């Protein structure tokens, strides 16, 4: 199975004609609560496509916990290792402009407590995984401990360091692949002492096993010890880009678990990401196996 150690959020989404300028007030609409969090998004994406997925994380004992986990449960994700804590459930305030571009402000809440203690509590589950999937919305200590457990058990590690947080370089070097968007790649490069004009190949040369850098509508680049390849994006009319990167990463892990090569998994993930942007929301926009995916050029 895929074990995700990560974040669970309630997403508060507001639609606006454009993003406000500093100090400006705009009228918007929406305001509904939906399920989100990078970890939860990626878990739902992989589970909807057919992978068995288990989740290690935390929610608060508040009104947002139920809607935040509803689509995880609906997709069949094992939530046994999701801890209810005396805290608030993570909250993401999302502003979506008419062109589909978004901004996201995250309040960590219970996610900030997914550190070594919670990870150690579920070490057996992590050690039985085929793939461990991590993001950057939990403390670095939790990520680092999860990697230690996975490596000791011979579990493949996939890291989507989003947002980019300072981590022990061992986390980056354990990733196979390390998945980043173009902005995150620059921040990771700085952690490794590399130039801002970083490429996927540069990160491999720095010691990362394999790397995927996504560029939105410009596709993605993958690199490993054998070289690099550009993967185009499908041409679609975007409605909402929230969670598209998470759809990509979840789909990538789904195909890697099935034994696909990284290049083939990334091509499939690009199609899933393109599908997601044609529908509103994050988790609700993710495809099921019966959905027709956009074709790559």
- All domains in the chain, ordered by first residue: 2-8+36-89+110-277 (3.40.1190.20)
As annotated, the binding site includes 9-11, 37-41, 137, 181, 214-219, 240, 242, 245-246, 276, 279, 281, 285
> Are 282 and 246 spatial neighbours (Cβ–Cβ below 8 Å)?
yes
246 is catalytic: yes
**Residue of 62, 246, 264, 291 marked catalytic:** 246
Q: What crossing angle do the helices spanning 65-74 and 38-48 adopt, rounded to 10°?
A: 20
β-sheet with 131-134: strand ranges across: 78-85, 53-60, 2-5, 131-134, 156-159, 175-181, 211-214, 220-224, 227-231
Model pLDDT, residue 103 = 85
Model pLDDT, residue 100 = 77
Q: Which pTM does this prediction carry?
A: 0.92
Q: Are strands 29-36 and 9-15 parallel, antiparallel or unpaired?
A: antiparallel
Tell me which H or E stretch contains 187: helix 182-191
* Residues of the chain with confidence (pLDDT) below 50: none
Digit-coded pLDDT (tens) for 175-223: 999 999 999 999 999 999 999 999 999 999 999 999 999 999 899 999 9
As annotated, the binding site for ATP includes 181, 214-219, 245-246
Distance between CA atoms of 175 and 206, rounded to whole angstroms? 13
Dihedral angle sign, alpha carbons of residues 34, 37, 97, 251: negative
As annotated, the binding site for K(+) includes 240, 242, 276, 279, 281, 285
């Amino acid at each position: 199975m895929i074990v995700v150690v990560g974040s669970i959020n309630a997403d508060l989404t507001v639609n606006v004609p454009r993003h406000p300028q500093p100090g400006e007030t705009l009228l918007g609409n929406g305001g509904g609560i939906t399920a989100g969090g990078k970890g939860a998004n990626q878990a739902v994406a992989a589970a909807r496509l057919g992978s068995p997925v288990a989740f290690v994380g935390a929610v608060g004992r508040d009104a947002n916990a139920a809607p935040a986990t509803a689509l995880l449960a609906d997709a069949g994700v094992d939530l046994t290792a999701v801890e209810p804590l005396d805290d608030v459930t993570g909250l993401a305030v999302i502003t979506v402009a008419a062109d589909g571009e978004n901004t996201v402000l995250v309040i960590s809440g219970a996610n900030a407590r997914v550190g070594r203690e919670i990870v150690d509590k579920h070490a057996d589950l992590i050690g039985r995984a085929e793939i461990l999937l991590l993001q950057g919305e939990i403390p670095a200590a939790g990520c680092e401990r999860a990697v230690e457990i996975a490596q000791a058990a011979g579990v493949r590690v996939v890291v989507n360091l989003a947002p980019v947080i300072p981590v022990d370089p061992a986390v980056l070097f354990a990733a196979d692949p390390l998945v980043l968007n173009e902005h995150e790649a620059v921040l990771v490069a700085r952690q490794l002492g590399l130039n801002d004009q970083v490429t996927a190949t540069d990160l491999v040369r720095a010691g990362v096993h394999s790397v995927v850098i996504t560029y939105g509508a410009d596709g993605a680049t993958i690199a490993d010890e054998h070289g690099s390849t550009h993967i185009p994006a499908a041409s679609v009319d975007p409605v909402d880009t929230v969670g598209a990167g998470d759809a990509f990463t979840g789909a990538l892990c789904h195909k890697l678990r099935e034994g696909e090569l990284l290049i083939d998994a990334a091509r499939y993930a690009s199609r899933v990401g393109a599908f997601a942007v044609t529908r509103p929301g994050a988790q609700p926009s993710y495809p099921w196996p019966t959905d027709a995916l956009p074709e790559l050029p």
